[in-house]
Amino acid sequence: MFYRVITILTLIGCTVSPSAAQEAAEKAQTVSLCQLLQSPAAYNKKLVEVRGVVSHGFESFSLSTPQCGTPLGIWLEYGGLIGSGTRYCCGATYARTRQAPLVVEDIVVPLVQDATFQRLDNYIQQRKSVTLRATLIGRFFSGTLQQLPAGEFWGGYGHFGCCSLLVIQQVRTVKPTNSIQHK
């Protein structure tokens, strides 16, 4: 009888929901920012680790790099219960907190709120305009292919639907650049 009780307690304690088990087993795929920008559909809804230049200011929170030769980067937002507070148009909320973790395209996106994340958040909250180098882990959402007279682009997220989206789950590294503007 004693062993049966221990076995049942052990099984109850080890029960993990399928989604929690899947999230724990998922490892971020390391990709270059150019790969994301050139083939967004290939990485849609995937967990990626990517490095680039984070720019934050009025109507802007993006990840870009000059090496890709594209004028637009990828729009950024925090996962979890904290919002970036970025001010821009078209239905965006400037709130810094959420009642529930962020959900994009039916995917719940968590956030690791460690010291590295706090450093990034402190930089972007304390300055009107900032540029940083960072390595981010996040859930990538390509958006949809948009057709314009000037050409096509992937978008649907961010200011005027400009961009694909990377929802930040973890900040691996953050380093100020020489172009931080104290405004």
Please indicate, yes or no, if residue 5 is contained in any of the structural domains.
no
Please indicate, yes or no, if residue 1 is contained in any of the structural domains.
no
When mean pLDDT is compared across 66-75, 97-106, 121-130, the lowest value belongs to: 66-75
Please indicate, yes or no, if residue 16 is contained in any of the structural domains.
no
- pLDDT for 139 equals 96
When mean pLDDT is compared across 16-20, 110-114, 143-147, the lowest value belongs to: 16-20
Most confident of 2-11, 49-58, 82-91, 152-161: 49-58
Most confident of 3-17, 74-88, 119-133: 119-133
CB atoms near residue 99 (< 10 Å)? 6
Please indicate, yes or no, if residue 137 is contained in any of the structural domains.
yes
Please indicate, yes or no, if residue 13 is contained in any of the structural domains.
no
Please indicate, yes or no, if residue 132 is contained in any of the structural domains.
yes
Percentage of residues in the chain with pLDDT exceeding 70? Answer: 70
Contact 28, 109 (CB under 8 A): no
28 secondary structure, DSSP code:
P
Alpha carbons 148 and 155: distance in angstroms, whole number: 12
- pLDDT for 128 equals 75
Alpha carbons 129 and 17: distance in angstroms, whole number: 42
Buried (b) or exposed (e) across 52-75, using 16+ Cβ within 10 A? bbbbbbeebbbbbbeebeeebbbb
Length of the chain (residues): 183
Please indicate, yes or no, if residue 4 is contained in any of the structural domains.
no
Report the domain count for the chain.
Answer: 1
- pLDDT for 59 equals 73
Most confident of 2-16, 69-83, 125-139, 152-166: 125-139
At 93, is the pLDDT very low, low, confident or very high (cuts 50, 70, 90)? Answer: low
pLDDT one-digit tens code per residue, 147-171 = 778 777 666 666 556 778 899 999 9
When mean pLDDT is compared across 30-34, 46-50, 121-125, the lowest value belongs to: 121-125
Residue with tokens 């395209």: 105
Alpha carbons 153 and 147: distance in angstroms, whole number: 7
- pLDDT for 32 equals 94
Indicate whether 125 pLDDT > 80.
yes
- pLDDT for 173 equals 97
Residue 56, domain extent: 27-176
Residue with tokens 């934050």: 56
Phi, psi at 11, each rounded to 5°: -65, -40
Please indicate, yes or no, if residue 74 is contained in any of the structural domains.
yes
